[in-house]
């Protein structure tokens, strides 16, 4: 198998597994594992008749996801307790938000660090509260620390000294140096409160945040999982009255219309997601490269299409920083590595 097409093909319509032979199954499982979608796949295949040895692998992934879900919710609760005296809302992002809000995107999802969004003017208080509650800096390096603080959209990562878990505190959506600047204040103002006292973004902002994360903040690694999140969000919310109109307005406000449009097309292509054709129309050039990059993995789970991967890697840096600044950053990093070696 030369690319990862089989994974979205099965995720879109699980009944297609009836057509898989042993080789196809093994490739599917390895690719899903490498794309961190094995738990999501396992959830998708509940109730489908699959060979016993594949079932065992999928059941393992479900067990893993369930433990991950419990731990993610607990981390969210720990953050809520740490911030309770500040009276500042804690807005969950990404995986933790999906499971806390009971969304389909959270089913079987592998969740890494706890990502939260807080108002920028409360950042000092938030930082102090976290240090007080047992979180510690991961990167004690002075350059990295100042780099995060002047140029990034989040604090340097913190790790909890007892639980060994990481928290990423975002104060805006994209790096301060990025070319697009989504309106974080508007997202915070529109956040909705969950049953457990924590907050999540509004349905429209949640999708736009996922889009921003995919296209403007990375080289598309993990992109299939990101697009699968979007597919699930659209299927949960897309039928709500006025969703697409609000989505359009919101994306315009955040300067994300073209990115949103591309994400919708890619979702539709990969997962047969029902999308608004009008919104998905803008800026079709280049989709083929994106698809090539997203599916750049073979049946052994290996990274494929190295030159295309490299091109996206360079591009991701280019759009995150002005060229002179990028050069300075890479130079400093390189010299530090030399000094270490």
Chain residues in the site for other proteins (CB under 8 A):
21-23, 25-26, 29-30, 33-34, 51-54, 56-57, 59-61, 63-64, 67, 70-71, 300-302
CB of 232 to other proteins, least distance (A): 23
Task: Give the β-pairing of 114-117 and 166-170.
Answer: parallel
- Of 63 and 186, nearer to other proteins (C-beta) is 63
CB of 34 to other proteins, least distance (A): 7
CB of 326 to other proteins, least distance (A): 25
CB of 81 to other proteins, least distance (A): 21
Structure tokens at 69: 């879900």
- Of 71 and 181, nearer to other proteins (C-beta) is 71
Contact between 6 and 28 under an 8 Å Cβ cutoff? The reply is: yes
Coil, strand or helix: which one is 304?
coil
- Of 54 and 291, nearer to other proteins (C-beta) is 54
CB of 157 to other proteins, least distance (A): 16
Rounded to an integer, what is the distance from CA 307 to the centroid of its chain? Answer: 24
> Which ranges of the chain would DSSP assign to H, the alpha helix?
6-12, 22-34, 38-44, 52-83, 94-100, 123-132, 142-151, 184-189, 203-216, 223-237, 243-253, 257-271, 287-294, 306-320, 323-340
The whole-angstrom separation of Cα 309 and Cα 2 is 15
- Of 51 and 283, nearer to other proteins (C-beta) is 51
CB of 26 to other proteins, least distance (A): 5
Q: Which residue has the tokens 């390189």?
A: 334
Structure tokens at 232: 């699930």
Structure tokens at 229: 């999140």
Coil, strand or helix: which one is 237?
helix
- Of 52 and 87, nearer to other proteins (C-beta) is 52
CB of 123 to other proteins, least distance (A): 30
Starting from the edge strand earliest in sequence, which strands make up the sheet with 91-92, in order?
135-137, 158-160, 166-170, 114-117, 91-92, 199-200, 192-193
- Of 163 and 245, nearer to other proteins (C-beta) is 163
The whole-angstrom separation of Cα 75 and Cα 96 is 9
- Of 67 and 146, nearer to other proteins (C-beta) is 67
């Amino acid at each position: 198998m030369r690319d990862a097409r089989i994974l979205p093909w099965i995720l879109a319509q699980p009944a297609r597994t009836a057509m898989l032979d042993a080789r196809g199954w093994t490739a599917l499982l390895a690719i899903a594992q490498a794309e961190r979608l094995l738990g999501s796949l396992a959830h998708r295949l509940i109730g489908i008749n699959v060979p016993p040895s594949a079932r065992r692998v999928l059941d393992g992934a479900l067990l893993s996801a369930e433990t991950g879900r419990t731990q993610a919710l607990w981390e969210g609760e720990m953050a809520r307790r740490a911030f309770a005296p500040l009276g500042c809302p804690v807005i969950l992002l990404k995986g933790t938000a999906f499971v806390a809000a009971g969304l389909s995107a959270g089913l079987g999802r592998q969740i890494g660090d706890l990502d939260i969004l807080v108002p920028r003017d409360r950042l000092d208080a938030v930082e102090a509260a976290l240090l007080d509650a047992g979180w510690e800096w991961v990167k004690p390096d002075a350059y990295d620390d100042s780099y995060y603080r002047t140029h990034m959209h989040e604090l340097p990562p913190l790790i909890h000294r007892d639980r060994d878990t990481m928290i990423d505190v975002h104060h805006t959506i994209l790096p301060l140096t990025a070319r697009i600047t989504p309106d974080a204040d508007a997202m915070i103002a529109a956040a909705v409160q969950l049953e457990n006292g924590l907050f999540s973004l509004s349905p429209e902002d949640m999708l736009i945040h996922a889009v921003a994360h995919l296209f403007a903040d990375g080289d598309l690694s993990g992109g299939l999982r990101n697009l699968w999140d979007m597919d699930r969000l659209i299927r949960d919310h897309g039928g709500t009255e006025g969703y697409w109109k609000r989505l359009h307005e919101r994306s315009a406000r955040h300067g994300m219309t073209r990115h949103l449009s591309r994400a919708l097309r890619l979702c539709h292509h990969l997962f047969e997601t029902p999308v608004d054709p009008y919104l998905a129309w803008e800026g079709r050039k280049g989709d083929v490269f994106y698809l090539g990059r997203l599916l750049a993995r073979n049946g052994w789970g290996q990274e494929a299409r190295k030159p295309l991967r490299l091109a996206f890697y360079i591009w991701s840096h280019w759009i995150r920083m002005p060229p002179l600044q990028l050069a300075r950053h890479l130079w400093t990093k390189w010299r530090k590595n030399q000094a270490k070696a």
